[in-house]
């Protein structure tokens, strides 16, 4: 029997939390509901969810801080939920490591669809030895990006990053010296299911630069005048 995927729901509005849980349970997910940030952090350790639905406005520790704390140890997918619809709030959430952001009020069916989409992209754990022949991996000097087990090694150290950051880096590294618009990257990494601002790409590129500095043999380049990004290799 296949184990159910577990969703941790963090929202201080009991009605919203129960409604989300109801819809997810119907889709064969196992859910746990907590109503504050402190409980979210403790439940994350014990429940070990496959994905977290995280409200921003929580009593005590807010959603931003919860996300920040979890990202120090885990790349578990996080979808932020908030009545705050300002671009600043969305960008801040994404910069802290959220994988998606939904503004309240939202359609519950859309939320479930986004949960499924994010989980499809996130693959954790090791890969069996027999699958090594099919490993999706790109290597540069001092950099290895493995899409099969979702790992990045830079200068000999593992770099933690959420699934979409890794997928974006892998895509760019797989197509060196090719340029892509924000819209092209959104389509490739987020797909048709994504409904949001193209600035999401800028946020993820910024986070990649913070984690992986330029190397003498390669670097990430963005030309803002025409809004394209590419990974550049030196010409020989």
Half-sphere exposure of 38 (CA within 13 A, CB side): 2
Residue 193 maps to which CATH number? 1.10.10.10
Interatomic CA distance for residues 208 and 81, integer angstroms: 24
Half-sphere exposure of 157 (CA within 13 A, CB side): 6
Structure tokens, 166: 């890794």
Mark whether 144 and 209 lie in a shared domain.
yes
- Residue 71: phi and psi, rounded to 5, are -70, -15
Residue 1 covered by a domain = no
Picking from 130, 165, 121, the residue whose alpha carbon sits closest to that of residue 145 is 165
Band (63; pLDDT cuts 50, 70, 90): very high
Query: Of the residues 121, 144, 162, which one is the last residue of a structural domain?
Result: 121
Instruction: Identify the weakest region by mean pLDDT among 125-129, 165-169, 197-201, 228-232.
Output: 125-129
**16-37 confidence digits (pLDDT tens):** 999 999 999 999 999 999 999 9
What percentage of the chain carries pLDDT values higher than 90? 32
Query: Of the residues 100, 121, 142, which one is the last residue of a structural domain?
Result: 121
Structure tokens, 93: 């959430």
Query: Domain range for residue 53?
Result: 6-121
Query: Of the residues 71, 88, 121, which one is the last residue of a structural domain?
Result: 121
Q: What is the mean pLDDT of the chain?
A: 82
Answer yes or no: is pLDDT of 11 > 90: yes
Picking from 28, 33, 37, the residue whose alpha carbon sits closest to that of residue 4 is 28
Interatomic CA distance for residues 138 and 145, integer angstroms: 5
Is the preceding omega at residue 105 within 30 degrees of 0, hence cis?
yes
**37-62 confidence digits (pLDDT tens):** 999 999 999 999 999 999 999 998 99
Residue 207 covered by a domain = yes
Mark whether 22 and 110 lie in a shared domain.
yes
Residue 112 covered by a domain = yes
Long-range contact set of residues 158-163: C-beta below 8 Å, sequence gap at least 24: 159/211, 159/212, 160/71, 160/74, 160/75, 161/75, 161/207, 161/208, 161/211, 162/71, 162/75, 162/77, 162/78, 162/97, 162/98, 162/99, 163/75, 163/77, 163/99, 163/118, 163/121, 163/122, 163/123
Structure tokens, 161: 């990053």
Mark whether 11 and 116 lie in a shared domain.
yes
CB 11 within 8 A of CB 18: no
Interatomic CA distance for residues 199 and 184, integer angstroms: 13
Half-sphere exposure of 226 (CA within 13 A, CB side): 9
Mark whether 89 and 170 lie in a shared domain.
no
Q: Domain count of the chain?
A: 2
**92-145 confidence digits (pLDDT tens):** 888 888 888 888 888 988 999 989 888 887 754 333 434 344 567 888 888 999
């Amino acid at each position: 029997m296949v184990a159910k995927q577990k969703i941790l729901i963090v929202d201080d509005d009991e009605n919203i939390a129960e409604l989300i849980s109801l819809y997810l349970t119907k889709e064969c997910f196992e859910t746990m509901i907590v109503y504050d940030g402190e409980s979210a952090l403790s439940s994350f350790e014990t429940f070990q969810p496959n994905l977290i639905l995280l409200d921003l406005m929580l009593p005590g520790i807010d959603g931003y801080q919860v996300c920040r704390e979890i990202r120090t140890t885990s790349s578990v997918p996080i979808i932020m939920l908030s009545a705050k619809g300002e671009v600043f709030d969305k960008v801040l959430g994404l910069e802290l490591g959220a994988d998606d952001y939904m503004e309240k009020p939202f359609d519950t069916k859309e939320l479930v669809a986004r949960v499924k989409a994010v989980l499809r992209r996130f693959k954790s754990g090791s890969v069996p030895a027999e699958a090594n022949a099919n490993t999706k991996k790109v290597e540069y000097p001092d950099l290895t990006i493995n899409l099969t087990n979702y790992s990045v090694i830079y200068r000999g150290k593992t770099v933690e990053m959420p699934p979409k950051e890794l997928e974006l880096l892998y895509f760019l590294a797989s197509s060196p010296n090719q340029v892509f618009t924000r819209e092209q990257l959104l389509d490739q990494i987020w797909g048709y299911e994504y409904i949001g601002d193209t600035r999401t790409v800028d946020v993820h590129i910024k986070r990649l630069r913070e984690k992986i500095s330029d190397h003498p043999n390669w670097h990430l380049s963005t030309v803002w005048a025409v809004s394209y990004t590419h990974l550049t290799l030196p010409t020989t």
